Chain A
Amino acid sequence: MIVFEKPKALTDAPLHYCPGCTHGIIHRLVAEAIDSLDIAGKTIGVASVGCSVFAYNYFNVDMVQAAHGRAPAVATGVKRADPSKIVFTYQGDGDLASIGTAETVHAAARGENITVIFVNNAIYGMTGGQMAPTSLPGQVTQTSPYGRDVNTVGYPVRICELLATLDGTGYVERVAVNNVKNVRNAKKAIEKAFRRQTEGKGFSLIEVLSTCPTNWGKTPEGATEWLEQNMIPYYPLGVYKDKYAEEAAK
């Protein structure tokens, strides 16, 4: 009896991510959701710019690679070309919450029937650890070497809270992958986001709090602790908007 196997929606390509990075877990959760809904054959993914730029090598579905921040616009074009397809983007915090803020906000405002996987690790990973729109106050990065000073560079952006204010947003939830319990919750949320799309229920975004041991300067274990102690208090986990559950409850 097979009790555990690689999801079919992942290819055999070895992941290039750093040791301890949680992108691998999140890739797996996305692939499991695709498998569980049996939608791989009609799914089209949009990779972004950042550490996950090579996502097109890992997901066993049709993929297009978008310019930095533009994935929701590219996904909009793909979805409008054939609304029967399942379209998702996989983006980091620099891509989605800084250079691609406009594309993110307006895809949500339009209620675009796509699924966005937003990986927030509070830093620019691929370019070597610069301050991100989601870097915490006081966080030391290459471009905030004395710690993020909110008086000069401002405050982090909370995407779920922001998108929850939009009428077009269907479902937004923030999850984390720092421990088994949170990973299980993340799996449920990601699968729900894809299911909502198959039901034509509009824009969904799952923000996944993720680790970057390399650029945080921590061990993998230390990174999960740092996430729990610093990121979760600033970015509380939970459902920020679930339009259809709210409507059903009325």
Chain B
Amino acid sequence: MADKILMKGNEALAEAAIMAGCRHYFGYPITPQTEVAAYMAKRMPKIGGCFLQAESEIAAINMCIGAAAAGKRAMTSSSSPGISLKSEGISYMAGCDLPALIVNVQRGGPGLGGIQPSQSDYFQATRGGGHGDYHLLVLAPSSVQEMADLVSKGFDLAEKYRMPCMLLADGTMGQMMEPVELREREEAPADKPWALTGTENKRKPNIINSLALEPQELEKWNEERFKRYDIVRENEQMSQSYRMEDAEICVVAFGIAARVSQNAVDMARAKGIKAGMIRPITLWPFPEKALKAAAGQCKAFVSVELNMGQMIEDVKLSIECSRPVSLCCRTGGMIPSPDEVLAAVERAAEGGK
């Protein structure tokens, strides 16, 4: 077992990517994720990898497309406004069935917004973000340890299902320091017979493409992709339950909001309120099975988010609106305090909103 070391979330994530076999990173500076690029700039040349600072986020994601098309584990990272720019490339990646890891260390928006932590790109991440019918795998770390662990998981899932994966962190996760244990990857890299490696005059050319002018063909491609999404929905939902055994009030929160909410759950328990928490780790596929099961025992749900209420829609859909769902939120870079979450839990326990 490796020793624990104290690391910033962004740097733990970067080192974890290298340990997961990523040797191609394309970035562009933006707060609060710039440490990822700085770390890669230091490390990649020493291990024979490629760090390239692109001329724009648009170019960075397209470089990722190129390296992924050539069969490499490629990664890019950015923060909210930069992810908007990458959205074109992300849509192409999805349309080309290319695996890659895209990191979004979210900050407040819309527009230039601010540089403080946020979860306001939830819709953008879980609904696709760019144009067309598609999904990303979306993973939400809530500790520096998970910033590292979910990188390797993300690459593995992306390659298994041939789809881009987004690691949806926030400014807090990126900037805070915690002890972390970095682990060598276990799974062997996926076989990629579709990759562009040159025909060597031995096989027919491989073509990576998202264009189909015949509507019947494009419909077929999309339907096949969604069959794959169904398998992902069935097999890859991940969440963590906290004090849910006898919970009557279920808090739903991810990322930094889950850290705050965990304290609020303990405070509520101390006051005699049977509160628990479900923390989604995959935001897409959303852990609807866990939520649905919780609806059988809980009388109310509280969605805690760093935005004006986005995940709450998935909570309601998962439990098919069978229980009241209230929202506890701060936005613009503000983080709800444990007291604020506690007050929301108390209101829910009293049957109010």
Binding site for B on A (CB under 8 A): 11, 40-44, 46-47, 53, 56-57, 59-67, 70, 73-82, 85, 102-103, 105-106
Contact = CB atoms under 8 A, between A and B. Distances in A.
B62 A81 contact: no
A83 B66 CA distance: 12
A79 B59 contact: no
A106 B200 contact: no
A20 to B, nearest CB: 23
A62 B62 contact: no
Given A42-B200, A73-B54, A103-B59, A62 B205 contact: yes
A43 B62 contact: no
B59 A106 contact: yes
A44 B198 contact: yes
B235 interface: no
Nearest to A82: B70
Nearest to B100: A77
B207 interface: yes
Contacts, number: 133
Interface string B193-232: 0001111111001111111000000000000000000000
A62 B59 contact: no
A77 B197 contact: no
Contacts of B306: none
A80 B24 contact: yes
A202 B248 CA distance: 66
A101 to B, nearest CB: 10
A40 B50 CA distance: 25
B62 A78 contact: no
A42 B199 CA distance: 6
A40 to B, nearest CB: 6
Given A76-B63, A78-B196, A81-B72, A41 B201 contact: yes
Contact of A77 (B65, B198, B205, B206): B65
From A63, A70, A75, A85, name the one whose CB has the most chain B CB atoms within 10 angstroms: A70
B72 A67 contact: no
B71 A64 contact: no
B89 interface: yes
B62 A103 contact: yes
A106 B74 CA distance: 20
B208 A63 contact: yes
Given A60-B205, A77-B26, A67 B62 contact: yes
29 contacts: A41-B200, A41-B201, A41-B202, A42-B198, A44-B70, A44-B196, A53-B211, A56-B209, A59-B205, A64-B65, A64-B66, A64-B208, A64-B209, A65-B210, A66-B62, A73-B63, A74-B62, A76-B59, A76-B66, A77-B24, A77-B62, A77-B66, A77-B70, A77-B74, A80-B24, A80-B52, A85-B70, A85-B198, A102-B59
B248 to A, nearest CB: 50
B37 interface: no
B67 interface: yes
Interface string B259-287: 00000000000000000000000000000
A63 B62 CA distance: 15
A83 to B, nearest CB: 9
Interface residues of B, number: 40
A67 B88 contact: yes
Nearest first, the 8 A-B pairs at minimum CB distance are A77-B66, A81-B70, A73-B62, A77-B63, A106-B55, A78-B66, A77-B67, A42-B198
B256 interface: no
From B24, B60, B89, B198, name the one whose CB has the most chain A CB atoms within 10 angstroms: B198
Contacts of A81: 24, 50, 66-67, 70-72, 74
Given A73-B63, A75-B66, A76-B66, A67 B89 contact: yes
Nearest to A110: B52
A46 B67 CA distance: 12
A103 B63 CA distance: 10
Contacts of B62: 66-67, 70, 73-74, 76-77, 103
B66 A40 contact: no
Contacts of B56: 102
B92 interface: yes
B227 to A, nearest CB: 23
Contacts of A79: 66
A73 B58 contact: yes
Contact of A41 (B64, B88, B198): B198
Contacts of B96: 64-65
Contacts of A64: 65-66, 69, 96, 196, 207-209
B193 to A, nearest CB: 12
B68 interface: yes
A103 B211 contact: no
Contacts of B63: 73-74, 76-77, 80
A110 to B, nearest CB: 8
Contacts of A40: 199, 201
A76 B52 CA distance: 10
Given A42-B200, A85-B198, 6 more contacts: A41-B202, A43-B198, A47-B209, A77-B66, A78-B66, A78-B196
